[in-house]
Amino acid sequence: MSTDPTGLDAYAPADIARLVEAAGVRKAALPAVQMLTLAVLAGAFIGFGGAAYTMAMTGADPGFGPARLLGGLVFSLGLILVIVAGAELFTGNALMVMAAVDRRIAPAALARSWTLVYLGNALGAAGLALAFAATGLLDGPMGATARAIAESKLALDPVEAFARGALCNALVCLAVWLTVAARSATGKILAILWPISGFVLLGLEHSVANMYLLPQAALAGGTVPMGAALANLLWVTLGNILGGAGGVALAYRLAYGPQHG
């Protein structure tokens, strides 16, 4: 590994690129049961972040204002759990495209990983929503906030949902990229906080978060038509893929790919 020219206790950018690509190879090779288990955990972890965000926004304007910054800091809990505890998150796994472009993993292996992880994330997120419904917390003010959050998401048109998804996952994948640079758990946590808080503050869209937030609203008595929820997830997911795979993974592959090694 090269020495970081900044003098910080972090891997240099070229080293991050190699580490991210190697991680993509390992992820693609995970046995199906292990991959699905880790994906379910990631969905639940992001769901915990979504639940904490919902409670933090209760009593505040969920659409605008500095309260959203606090909401973003709280929501960061989800990615902190994914990275530090270890789990498989669809949005972060957009970075696997680096390994696919360099033919270190086959397209079929990438598709298998993304599919299993996406399904596992959905199971974990929706399962956590059911668990929170059983607590009774969604029967009170938290439930009203949950309904308001879902209403704002379902009001987005396809272009808005796609664009917000792309910008969101650029920040999520940059957060993951920065965690690879960090050499300690503390560094990884700090690397997560600001990109994730930023996307929440800006009202951007994360597909796995929505896998929790939309069922949460339905279980809180909100009107969440299945067709509208699936349409939101479709456009946000496509945006997430573009923002993470194209905006981050391919950009850094061009900057630090084999030709620069």
Q: In total, how many domains does the chain have?
A: 1
pLDDT of residue 10: 82
Of 86, 98, 111, 121, the closest CA to residue 25 belongs to 98
Q: What's 115's domain CATH number? A: 1.20.1080.10
Strand partners, 10: 182
Query: What six digits make up the tokens of 178?
Result: 């920065």
Of 198, 207, 258, 201, the closest CA to residue 235 belongs to 207
Distance of CA 224 to the CA centre of its chain: 22
pLDDT of residue 246: 95
Does residue 47 belong to any structural domain of this protein? yes
pTM above 0.75, yes or no: yes
Phi, psi of 182 (to 5 degrees): -75, 145
Does residue 64 belong to any structural domain of this protein? yes
- Token pair 């809180």 is found at 220
Q: Are 164 and 205 in contact (CB under 8 A)?
A: yes
pLDDT above 50 for 195: yes
Q: pLDDT tens for residues 11-67?
A: 898 999 999 999 999 999 999 999 999 999 999 999 999 999 999 999 887 667 788
pLDDT of residue 177: 96
Q: What are the angstrom distances between the C-alpha of 118 and each of 36, 156, 230, 249?
A: 9, 22, 14, 18
- Of the chain, the percentage scoring pLDDT greater than 90 comes to 89
pLDDT above 60 for 233: yes
Does residue 241 belong to any structural domain of this protein? yes
Does residue 50 belong to any structural domain of this protein? yes
Binning pLDDT at 50, 70 and 90, where does residue 257 land? Answer: confident
CA distance 125 to 215: 9
Q: pLDDT tens for residues 54-64?
A: 999 998 876 67
CA distance 184 to 186: 5
CA distance 42 to 18: 24
CA distance 25 to 100: 9
How large is the average pLDDT for residues 185-212? 97
Instruction: Name the 3-class secondary structure at 182.
Output: strand
pLDDT of residue 259: 53
Does residue 3 belong to any structural domain of this protein? no
Does residue 94 belong to any structural domain of this protein? yes
Query: What six digits make up the tokens of 188?
Result: 């990884």
- Tell me which residue range forms the domain holding 238: 13-260
Kindly give the interhelix angle for 13-28 and 107-135, rounded to the nearest 10 degrees: 80
pLDDT of residue 261: 44
Binning pLDDT at 50, 70 and 90, where does residue 178 land? Answer: very high
Does residue 69 belong to any structural domain of this protein? yes
Does residue 169 belong to any structural domain of this protein? yes
